[in-house]
Amino acid sequence: MALDRTRDPDFAARIFGTRPEHALALLRAAWPAAVGPDIARRTQVVALERGVLRIKVPDAGWQRSLLRMRGDILAR
Cβ atoms of 39 and 67 closer than 8 Å:
no
- Per-residue model confidence (pLDDT) at position 23: 83
Please tell me the distance from the alpha carbon of residue 60 to that of residue 6, in angstroms, as a whole number: 34
pTM for the model? 0.72
Q: How far apart are CA 50 and CA 55, in angstroms?
A: 14
Does 3 score more than 50 pLDDT?
no
What average pLDDT does the segment 58-75 reach?
Answer: 91
65: nearest Cα among 45, 47, 42: 42
pLDDT higher than threshold 80 for residue 35: yes
